Every structure is written in C-alpha cells, then in structure tokens.
Amino acid sequence: MKSILGSFKVVPDLDLLSAEDWEPGVDHLVDTSFVKSMLNVFDESALEMMLKLSDLGESLGTSIKLNGVTVGNKLCDNYLKTLYALGFARADRIESDDEILFKPERTVAALKEYIEKTEMPDLIVMGSKSADNASGCVPLFLAEELKIPCITAVTEMQLLEDGKVRVTNLYDGGIQIRDVQGTFMAVIGDVPGTYLRVPTLKERMQRGKKEIIPVLLETENEEKQKLINSHPVIEKREGRLVSSEDLYPFLKERMMKL
C-alpha cells in the first residue's frame, strides 16, 4: 500500500436550517446559501480512516501517501488546507462553479479524468452518500469506470503486515471481514462517532498555508439529467379510525375483500 486517495464533498450543514427554511425555491431546491458548510459526514469518516491507516502504516514501517480531492468552488479550500495541515501529501480541488447536485455522472467523469492525470492510487476511499444528494451513485460508477473492485458499507479498515487491507463491512444484515489485496474502492458507510482529527495551529502554520490552485479539467460536462421537480416523501402508516359501531361492518368488508 503506497497511496490512498480520499474523495470528499463539502455540503451545507442542514442542521442549521430552521423548519421554515425548508421551502423549495429556485429550481425546486431549498436555499442553503446562508448556512455554514461542513464536511459530508460519510466523507469525514473516510478521511479519518485514511489517517488511521497511515498511522498503522507508520507503526509497520510503511509510509503511505495520502491524497485528497474534491469537486467544488473556493469554499472547499479551507477543508483542503486542513488536509495539508494533517499531513496529506496532496489536496486538490477540481474547479466547479456549476451546480453539480443530482448529476453524479459529471462528478464521476471529473474524478476519473483527475485520477488519470495524476496517479492511480492503491486505494480509493469515498463516503457512501452526501447529505445534499443521497444518490449514492458516485463511488459505484467511479469504480466501474476505473474497473476496480468496490466494497460498500465499509465500517473499518486495518493495514496488515503483508500489505493487504482487512476490510470490515456490513453485508446483507451481517458483518463481513475480508483481507483485500490490490487496488480497490472502499465506500464508507455509517460509522457513528467518527470525526476528522483537528490539526494544531502550529501544524496549520507549517503545512496548511499551501495555496490551493484549482485543477481545471477538460471533461465534457454534458447534462444528461435535469431536476424538474422535488417534493417531500410522506411516510405514514395506512390507517383508518373506526368507531365501535362501525367496527363490525368494517371488518366484514375487509374479510370480503380477502
């Protein structure tokens, strides 16, 4: 294991929206422009997992290069600088001022081109979905495009002495543990209580001042899908209040239907 690439997304902190803010606006989307951003929680778990693998590698005498990449605008730069401060060798932003919500194929194309232009890592780590677009498609599509195996719902990874990675993931209601060799994609699932560690001010001064130069790609951003509407999914039990007088006719009617 020589290098790991973590792809992450910066999303609005939806917890900061009040009930009245949840109103569809332009393009049927909720306006989140005024709330603070945050690392997508699944990606945050993924990035911390990368750092833990690197720590393990160090204890085994293996140096693992950590790289991070995101697709977005200048808003992402602080998060990239944090990765530098935490010891990442490279932290890139693929420039995108366009709205990429609900367009996973565009993100996949951008990431594929980025990997081809930089280097193919031994492991790609991504969160399973993001708070603002829970399509869950990007890691699966990207693995398919790159023709590498993909393990979903990963909750833990350990580096073994022989260079393999012991991957724990949720599978069909159970837990699956396997030792993996060769390049693969790990899609990080729900790992409660994981947070990205915090660099010190000294680390920020030493390593986190690096200027973020956006990566410009040639990917043809052809629009294949367009959001035309959005509405809340109402989830409630089917039920009907029946008075004691109506109970017998009601049950009889149901029996007849059966």
Partner 1 sequence: MGLQREQIVEGLVEILGSDRVITDEKVLKESSLDRYRKYEQVNEIYTQPIPAAVVYVESTQDVKEVLMFANENGINVVPRTGQSAIEGGLETAKENSIVVDGSGMNKVLKIDKYNMQVTVECGVPLQGLDDMLREQGYTTGHSPQSKPLAQLGGLVATRSIGQFSTLYGGIEDMVVGLEAVFPNGEVCRVKNIPRRAAGPDIRHVVIGNEGALCYITEVTIKIFKYQPENNVFLGYTIDDMKNGFDALRAVMVEGFKPSIARLYDAADASLHFDWSGDKNVLIFMAEGPSGITAATAAGIDKLVKAFPGVDSVDPKIIEKWFAGLNWGPEEIAEEKLEILATKNIGITTEVSGCWDCIYEIYDNACKRIMEEVPDMTLMGGHSSHSYINGTNMYFVYYYNIVDCTPEEEINKYHNQINRIICEEVIKYGGSIVHHHGLGKARAHYVWEEYGSSFYILDTLKKAFDPNGIMNMGTLIPIKHNEKHPWEF
Q: How far is the CB of 148 from partner 1 (least distance, A)?
A: 30
Q: How far is the CB of 126 from partner 1 (least distance, A)?
A: 20
Residue 64, amino acid? I
Pairwise CA distance, residues 94 & 116, whole Å? 13
C-alpha dihedral sign at 48, 104, 108, 173: positive
Closer residue to partner 1, CB minimum distance, 48 or 122: 48
Q: How far is the CB of 103 from partner 1 (least distance, A)?
A: 22
Pairwise CA distance, residues 21 & 15, whole Å? 11
Closer residue to partner 1, CB minimum distance, 198 or 242: 198
Closer residue to partner 1, CB minimum distance, 15 or 172: 15
- Binding residues for partner 1, rule: CB under 8 A, are 16, 18, 21, 34-37, 75, 78, 192-202
Q: How far is the CB of 11 from partner 1 (least distance, A)?
A: 12
Closer residue to partner 1, CB minimum distance, 85 or 146: 85
H or E segment at 247? helix 244-257
Contact between 224 and 79 (Cβ < 8 Å): no
Residue 84: half-sphere exposure toward Cβ, Cα within 13 Å: 21
Rg (CA), the chain: 22
Q: Euclidean distance between the first and final Cα of the chain, in Å?
A: 61
Closer residue to partner 1, CB minimum distance, 175 or 198: 198
Closer residue to partner 1, CB minimum distance, 174 or 193: 193
Q: How far is the CB of 206 from partner 1 (least distance, A)?
A: 14
Instruction: Return the exposure string of 68-103: e unless at least 16 CB atoms fall within 10 Å of the residue's CB, then b.
Output: bbbbbeeebbebbbbbbbbebebbbbbbbeeebeeb
For residue 182 the two structure tokens come to: 């060769």
Q: How far is the CB of 17 from partner 1 (least distance, A)?
A: 8
